[in-house]
Homo-oligomer: A and B are copies of this chain.
């Protein structure tokens, strides 16, 4: 086949893949937002058929020959086409090296295990979940070994979620935090205890909170014709293409910070999802470089912008107008301090900026033990609690608020957690670079996001999945990933509180 024909075939493959992904993405978004509760029954049936169809459309000899054929013609292809082929081959090898029978078994196990985790969390019963967790670890080890027998299993998993990152990188990252951030946490937390934050839990009418969400996204210059804000139990973003991104938030009648900051966070993911270069739109290279880089954008908008003094000073008068009774006696500075108050807490998703990465560190070290060490699954709750005592100074009173709190392991995902912490660290490094050319603080203080958005778009978002995280950081910052920026940012911010 001629190269042009092959490229045409690649385009057809992309269009087919995109169509299925779009339909399954919308169906999943719908299922998590507006679909009636009992819809899960027949949706499962439909989704499982469509997954099978998608599998068959991709894992077959025709596609295989096309992809490896194009790989051989590397020199004739442009940069973007080569990256598409590489990305598809990665996907192809990831799926096709696992025997289909075991892949189906794992899918089944994940569903059962997820259900078992839900029960176990509700009943504070780790032992009932332990056999599933054991099997999940075994499957992950086995699959990693099928796929890349030359690599350590946990490195294979880390690479799935954060391409190019291995244990060595993550270790260095956490070592830096242990050295530069952990030592001061106790003091910062105890000094902050007197910060007033009671007003965050007053009654905030939900319709006004909804208005606030759109005030925030308007302020960030998002085009209302390109996104929609839904509601769901856990906030998430579904990026479908450059004109179609949906994110959700959760409104609580007695909290203001929760939906405020999940809107800012998800808006960051959404902006990323809308900003791929047009030639990458709806292709395999759209939608972001990695979990960690995605998280860098959400954390950028949530924390570096949203929890900055300048932003709160800019937006607080509007909030007071929306909530005159609730915030009438509060100053912008008090609000700033309240939403930044560091606390040593048990629950990751409620953690403040300062302590967040320590929650991740606990999970990373335990995952590392699962794959590298010789640990017995039954001992994990005790290990978890000991690490919380060591890093955060508190001991979970039960496993529901301890090792059972997160959905990931029950759902079969291991190696995912580090990307959360990496995202925050990447964001700090990007900010430092941005500040070389943009007066970040004063732009935020003016409520003008034109330059900031453009910088993030041109340096990060427009590239989609063209570069690996490491390549992208090097290209954007002119140096390797360096966690010192993050440590400095945290120290500067929290010591000054």
Do residues A41 and B228 form an inter-chain contact, with CB atoms below 8 A?
no
Interface residues of A in 200-233 (CB under 8 A from B): 207, 223-228, 230
Shortest distance from the beta carbon of A237 to any chain B beta carbon, whole Å: 13
Shortest distance from the beta carbon of A120 to any chain B beta carbon, whole Å: 25
Shortest distance from the beta carbon of A256 to any chain B beta carbon, whole Å: 20
Q: Is A148 an interface residue (CB 8 A)?
A: no
Q: Is A240 an interface residue (CB 8 A)?
A: yes
| Complexed CA–CA distance, A34 and B47 (Å) | 21
Do residues B27 and A29 form an inter-chain contact, with CB atoms below 8 A?
no
Q: Is A488 an interface residue (CB 8 A)?
A: no
Range of interface residues on chain A? 35 or more
Q: Is A437 an interface residue (CB 8 A)?
A: no
Chain B residue with Cβ nearest A243:
B38
Chain B residue with Cβ nearest A207:
B207
Q: Is A36 an interface residue (CB 8 A)?
A: yes
Q: Which of A35, A281, A282 has the most CB atoms of chain B within a 10 A radius of its CB?
A: A35
Shortest distance from the beta carbon of A117 to any chain B beta carbon, whole Å: 23
- Among B27, B29, B230, B281, the residue within 8 A (CB) of A22 is B27
- Among B41, B49, B53, B245, the residue within 8 A (CB) of A243 is B41
Do residues A46 and B34 form an inter-chain contact, with CB atoms below 8 A?
no
- Among B37, B46, B228, B230, the residue within 8 A (CB) of A18 is B46
Do residues A45 and B30 form an inter-chain contact, with CB atoms below 8 A?
no
| Complexed CA–CA distance, A476 and B246 (Å) | 47
Shortest distance from the beta carbon of A208 to any chain B beta carbon, whole Å: 12
Contacts of A27 in B (CB 8 A): 22-23, 26-27
Mask for A33-56, Cβ within 8 A of B = 1, else 0?
111111101110111011001000
Do residues B36 and A23 form an inter-chain contact, with CB atoms below 8 A?
no
Q: Is A24 an interface residue (CB 8 A)?
A: yes
| Complexed CA–CA distance, A23 and B28 (Å) | 10
Do residues B19 and A45 form an inter-chain contact, with CB atoms below 8 A?
yes
Contacts of A33 in B (CB 8 A): 34
Contacts of A225 in B (CB 8 A): 36-38
Do residues B50 and A19 form an inter-chain contact, with CB atoms below 8 A?
yes
Do residues B226 and A36 form an inter-chain contact, with CB atoms below 8 A?
yes
- Among B207, B228, B282, the residue within 8 A (CB) of A35 is B228
| Complexed CA–CA distance, A46 and B230 (Å) | 22
Interface residues of A in 337-365 (CB under 8 A from B): none
Q: Is A244 an interface residue (CB 8 A)?
A: yes
| Complexed CA–CA distance, A18 and B30 (Å) | 17
Do residues B241 and A19 form an inter-chain contact, with CB atoms below 8 A?
no
Q: Is A318 an interface residue (CB 8 A)?
A: no
Shortest distance from the beta carbon of A1 to any chain B beta carbon, whole Å: 22
Contacts of A230 in B (CB 8 A): 34
Do residues B36 and A22 form an inter-chain contact, with CB atoms below 8 A?
no
Q: Is A16 an interface residue (CB 8 A)?
A: yes
Do residues A22 and B43 form an inter-chain contact, with CB atoms below 8 A?
yes
Q: Is A15 an interface residue (CB 8 A)?
A: yes
Do residues A36 and B241 form an inter-chain contact, with CB atoms below 8 A?
no
Do residues B49 and A16 form an inter-chain contact, with CB atoms below 8 A?
yes
Chain B residue with Cβ nearest A27:
B26
Contacts of A227 in B (CB 8 A): 36
| Complexed CA–CA distance, A26 and B227 (Å) | 18
Q: Which of A20, A36, A223 has the most CB atoms of chain B within a 10 A radius of its CB?
A: A36
Contacts of A35 in B (CB 8 A): 26, 228, 244, 246
Could you jot down 11 A-B contacts, CB within 8 Å?
A19-B49, A19-B50, A22-B27, A23-B24, A34-B34, A35-B228, A35-B244, A36-B224, A38-B243, A41-B243, A53-B53
Further pairs besides A38-B225, A39-B244: 18, Cβ < 8 Å: A15-B49, A19-B53, A22-B27, A22-B42, A23-B24, A23-B27, A23-B50, A26-B30, A29-B30, A34-B230, A35-B246, A36-B226, A36-B227, A36-B244, A38-B244, A42-B282, A43-B244, A45-B282
